[in-house]
A and B are shown apart, each in its own frame.
Chain A
């Protein structure tokens, strides 16, 4: 390393700023959390209950009935919504339920995990020739924020079917954090600053050779763009949002220190930075055998985390700007099978939705306490739920985009659910 041309010196100066001194750059507004109320752009937070949670052991208990499991089955407790009793496994959530609304009559036609996860991420049934974007990707695409240097669509946890960017592009696939609380993977260089600089300088030279005679053709690959964006991300102050060490111990305890609770806490920190769309997933709801045991076990993680999340978002005045959705790919059969389990049930399942200015405290739809009728009262299509969510986020849900194969496609084929909106929309 004996030569130091002018351009090289410039490069070193720039990269020194990028690599060690970024904390010294003053004046940038880094935290979207500084803005509150109507000034704040809205975000979407999905709590994804992977495997298909039972509506009966969560938000729609039919305590004391056959389908509720009789005397040994689920019990109902009163929540802070007058019309809503929920499963006794969720005492803490029951105290915070007034922040959101309950839907008990979601219907879909997909009873297979992968296909249903697609449906519940996109509002569309899977099609062989097209991949629809998840609503998180749509929100990120429509509402992206230049001030955010870290990924604006983040998926926390090891969900088997993460949300995708679909025809909006791979760049809108959710950025995955498999172990919440640890910094995102692959964000630190493996070598010291000197070596990293040497590597980058080498890369510049090799890129130049490849660019020769390929000019615009290489530009179209966006390779350099993604490398630059990755380098910018690696040095961003906002990365701290992925870490929870500086949170008070009491808060960490309240969320729970397991992976899922930590994920919810990270999600709140990401919201503060201005990340547009976040999914936190909790696996293990696929209770084909010993349904009650599985749900007792899941509730131990979900209840404290969810209750703390609702309260924390409300206390920090973030709930008005965050649509929160608690949902899985389908519900479970009213009938309990011989293994004490419940199987897949895509007609008449539950979710919680609220925040972002949506009405709270509403209870929509009802399922048959005898389990005889497959269809619930006032069935609600997934697409209508997502039209509601997109509309609330400020996205034109009916916007038609032309897919790469030239086929026009609406973001969402549903219409908003007026009971959830502060002001009805006419369609």
Chain B
């Protein structure tokens, strides 16, 4: 038998195994992605018949009616930043900016939208945003609710561009264990004190997939929409067969679902029922399967309108109709050409509920490409009109994940994505958790209007995280910029590009260039750190624009 010297056997071999495992796992976790721009010009078109053109005409009419001129188009770098923020939850890296700037082929923006959507960062980030709608932001019941598994599953569906109606049907109707069949976490997120809260599921289903609020009909009829308490209970009954056991989510509860009648105080059995167009509900299948079929039925326009409004909200930072889940009823006569949700929703349906196409369409609209500055914004009255007619891109507070994502990316010149070293990704994960905890989570209603707070300002100005993110070390962007830029001019330009995705203005140069000129060593490093601090604390960095 081969005998190895003791140190080799005891130390080197186990070490080699550990290193080997890291290398193999690390390599397999990396996927091959293009470092060059994609070749094909994308799937969407912008000709006169296209949905993008229809949306543009709708906006043009609204602006004309309000007697307002829309803002100028934003420059491409700004649009790129917007896209990275809304689709990846971060800002473009210097590496990406350089490739983008060197790309001089036609349809650059359309191709870049395709590229961003194909990136794993999109599916990971978007899954987390959408998951808030489907399983909420609460901690949920220990053991039976696995948010991490749900995120991973949803991310996978987005990455593969599964049809949205199928994704939703699986969440509503699938059976199995929360670990192996992660979509059932939609159900187990509503487990409260060991039992399934069917009212919560009914309310969440209608808000998430029909864009309407019927929660108040749990106890009384809706004040202004035509939701009745009986309709709510009928929907809740669709989930009443659900049972939770060690084998997972099943549909074999035997007890009848009863509700106490408020007048007679007698328990009355309630059957699974839908509030309108019951002809869309098939007779076959479990109650949950029948509900899923009804929700996603091709004629159920509430379904498409709900997701269009939400995706619009995630792209612009502000939904088309607020609150995001309290939409007016669709016009029963059919889709209206002057109703944005109908226009985009119709195209979404015609193309098999393709979420990536919906996003690409929105990204191609005139409204999405507008600048956020407008010559008439000094007047408060005109500002209100600008706001109401989307005549400029809205300013909205970025989510904490977007702020931290931007800071993390800005301190690295290379793109941080699935190809990054696992240590960078782990680092990002834990930093994000802590930062979100201190910055304040927005909860379920993340698309509602939020203003900044003083603790957030303090955290950005003086927090450990912000300090680390602006420190000039040999590996950080501030340190590397200090080392690699021969001139003050170029140095300042790089700082602005990595933090704000733009070049500095003449005033900014006049202010900051003297701080960089003729300084060496620590003084230069400090000057760059100070510029990073400045940019991190600007409204421009913290607000979507």
Contact = CB atoms under 8 A, between A and B. Distances in A.
B453 A170 contact: yes
Contact of A227 (B136, B200, B461): B461
Nearest to B372: A214
Interface stretch (B40-48, B52-60, B227-235, B511-519): B511-519
Contacts of A405: 323, 326
Nearest to A173: B440
B526 interface: yes
Interface size bracket, B side: 35 or more
B103 to A, nearest CB: 27
Interface stretch (B26-34, B104-112, B356-364, B443-451): B443-451
A216 B537 CA distance: 19
A210 B539 contact: yes
Given A175-B455, A230-B457, A186 B462 contact: yes
Interface string A192-211: 00010011011101111110
Contact of A171 (B138, B386, B397, B453): B453
B452 interface: yes
Contact of A223 (B371, B452, B458): B452
Contact of B452 (A187, A213, A226): A226
Given A217-B395, A404-B449, A128 B200 contact: yes
A229 interface: yes
Interface string A107-136: 000011011000000000001110100000
Interface in B472-506: 505
A173 B453 contact: yes
Given A114-B138, A128-B215, A129-B215, A206 B462 contact: no
Interface in A1-17: 1-3
Nearest to B136: A128
B431 interface: no
Interface string B118-132: 000000000000000
Given A190-B462, A217-B372, A227-B537, A199 B530 contact: yes
A247 B515 CA distance: 44
Given A215-B383, A217-B386, A226 B457 contact: yes
Contacts of A176: 438, 455
Contacts of B215: 127-129
Interface string A126-159: 0111010000000000000000000100000000
A188 B537 contact: no
Contacts of A344: 193
Interface in B510-545: 511-512, 514-515, 526, 530-531, 533-535, 537-540, 542-543, 545
Interface in B387-414: 387, 392, 395, 397
A201 B539 CA distance: 15
Contacts of B462: 186-190, 234
Contact of A151 (B326, B371, B454, B540): B454
Contact of A202 (B213, B378, B511): B511
A384 to B, nearest CB: 20
B539 A199 contact: no
Contact of A214 (B216, B395, B455, B526): B395
B377 A217 contact: yes
B375 interface: yes
Interface in A242-266: none
Given A1-B515, A234-B462, A223 B542 contact: yes
B451 A169 contact: yes
Interface residues of A, number: 59
A224 B375 CA distance: 21
B246 interface: no
Contacts of B440: 170, 173
A335 B139 CA distance: 27
Contact of A115 (B192, B383, B538): B192
A185 interface: yes
B507 A208 contact: yes
Interface string A323-356: 0000000000000000000001000000000000
A206 B203 contact: no
Interface in B455-469: 455-459, 461-463, 467
Contacts of B507: 205, 208-209
Interface in A56-111: 111
A24 interface: no
Contact of B379 (A191, A210, A216, A224): A216
A220 B453 contact: no
Contacts of B514: 1-3
A218 interface: yes
B451 A229 contact: no
Interface string A164-192: 00000111010110000000111111110
A191 B461 contact: no
B399 to A, nearest CB: 13
A114 B140 CA distance: 9
B459 A186 contact: yes
Contact of A131 (B383, B445, B512): B445
A404 B326 CA distance: 13
B526 A195 contact: yes
B374 interface: yes
Residue of B138, B380, B462, B512 with highest tally of chain A CB at under 10 A: B462
A187 B458 contact: yes
Contact of B539 (A115, A195, A221): A221
A31 to B, nearest CB: 21
Give the interface centre of B323, B387, B538 by most chain A CB atoms within 10 Å. B538
A305 B204 CA distance: 44
Contacts of A129: 207, 213, 215-216, 323, 325-326, 445
A88 to B, nearest CB: 32
Given A227-B537, A404-B449, 10 more contacts: A1-B514, A170-B440, A176-B438, A202-B511, A205-B512, A207-B538, A208-B507, A214-B372, A229-B454, A233-B458
Interface of B: 136, 138-139, 141, 192-193, 200, 203-204, 207, 213, 215-216, 323, 325-326, 371-375, 377-380, 383, 386-387, 392, 395, 397, 438, 440, 443-445, 448-459, 461-463, 467, 505, 507-508, 511-512, 514-515, 526, 530-531, 533-535, 537-540, 542-543, 545
Q: Which 9 A-B pairs have the closest CB atoms?
A: A213-B373, A223-B539, A230-B457, A202-B534, A186-B458, A215-B378, A186-B462, A226-B457, A205-B511
23 contacts: A1-B514, A112-B193, A129-B207, A129-B325, A151-B454, A170-B451, A173-B453, A175-B454, A187-B458, A191-B530, A199-B530, A202-B534, A205-B511, A206-B508, A206-B534, A210-B539, A213-B377, A214-B377, A220-B395, A220-B451, A223-B452, A229-B454, A230-B458
Interface of A: 1-3, 111-112, 114-115, 127-129, 131, 151, 169-171, 173, 175-176, 184-191, 195, 198-199, 201-203, 205-210, 212-218, 220-224, 226-227, 229-230, 233-234, 344, 404-405
